[in-house]
Amino acid sequence: MNQILVTEKLYITPELKRKKKIYKFNFIISIFLVFVLTSIYIYAEYDRNKSEATSKQILEEMNQTLASTAEDTTIAQDDILLVVLDGTEENYNQAEEEESQALSVANMNAQAEKYISSSGYTYKIIAKIEIPKINVTYSILQGETGSTEETEELLKISPLKFHGCDPNEVGNFCVVGHNYRNSKFFSKVPKLVVGDKVNLTDLTNRTITYEIYDMHTVDPSDTSDTTQLTGGKKELTLITCTDDGKQRVIVRCREVK
């Protein structure tokens, strides 16, 4: 029986060649995109870890400032005691008033040391926030201009004052922080619930505990929760993004008496 031998080349038509080229091209593009996306993810994670390290350095500077304030307060109290032992009640009241003025939050904030970020923006460290339930402790920064560009850059290194009164004063102290969808910054803030506690320490080394009384989400353009109409109470509002970044998580807190 005769057999006809047909080589493989006879089956490779121009159409098949074209499809193979397309397949190879798509395969190479896919590999390239995977490489690019992986590189972007690795760099983003590196950048977040670097930001976290910077925030810890800022927190250490805040702790040193608070320790120095505590020493100054002790000295001031000793001076007042000497006045009482050596003078009249009028002198005591005057000395106490002078101490109160010297250690007021507003004065301390005004006198706070200024720092310059790696991106060139000036900021101050004005408070420390602690949320025991989610193991969060960060310094709170305040930018010099409040511009959008400044806010975006400073938020990369620590939570930031967004709006309102001075820390631990009557009014609504509003703080914004990034949600990196990991354990850093305000990523775990959306997991809080009504009744959880938040501690806020100002530059006078005074710590006030706040309790969450409301949580909800709003559109990014909705700023109604930054209102300063608190009925003479001290309030704290935490702001971060939802995990998809489309809305804002609002956490309203009130001073625990």
Confidence at residue 64, expressed as pLDDT on a 0 to 100 scale: 79
Q: Is the pLDDT of residue 72 over 50?
A: yes
- The predicted-structure confidence for 232-243, as pLDDT tens digits, reads as follows 999 999 999 999
pLDDT band at 86 (very low <50, low <70, confident <90, very high): very low
Percent of the chain predicted with pLDDT > 70:
73
At 12, is the secondary structure helix, strand, or coil? Answer: coil
Q: Is the pLDDT of residue 83 over 50?
A: no
- The predicted-structure confidence for 150-180, as pLDDT tens digits, reads as follows 999 999 999 999 999 999 999 999 999 999 8
Residues 6+ apart with CB under 8 A from 23: none
Domains of the chain, CATH where assigned: 46-255 (2.40.260.10)
Task: Judge contact between 115 and 154, C-beta under 8 A.
Answer: no
Average pLDDT over residues 20-27: 74
Confidence at residue 67, expressed as pLDDT on a 0 to 100 scale: 80
Task: Judge contact between 163 and 95, C-beta under 8 A.
Answer: no
Q: Is the pLDDT of residue 256 over 70?
A: yes
Average pLDDT over residues 108-121: 91
163 or 53, which is more confident: 163
63 or 96, which is more confident: 63
Tell me which of 20-29, 41-50, 84-93, 199-208 is least confident. Answer: 84-93
Q: Is the pLDDT of residue 104 over 60?
A: yes
CA distance 141 to 137: 13
pTM value?
A: 0.70
- The predicted-structure confidence for 207-226, as pLDDT tens digits, reads as follows 999 999 999 999 999 999 99
Q: Characterize 211-242 residue by residue with b for buried, 16 or more Cβ atoms within 10 angstroms of its Cβ, and e for exposed.
A: ebeebeeeeeeeeebbeeebeeebbbbbbbbe
Q: Is the pLDDT of residue 197 over 90?
A: yes
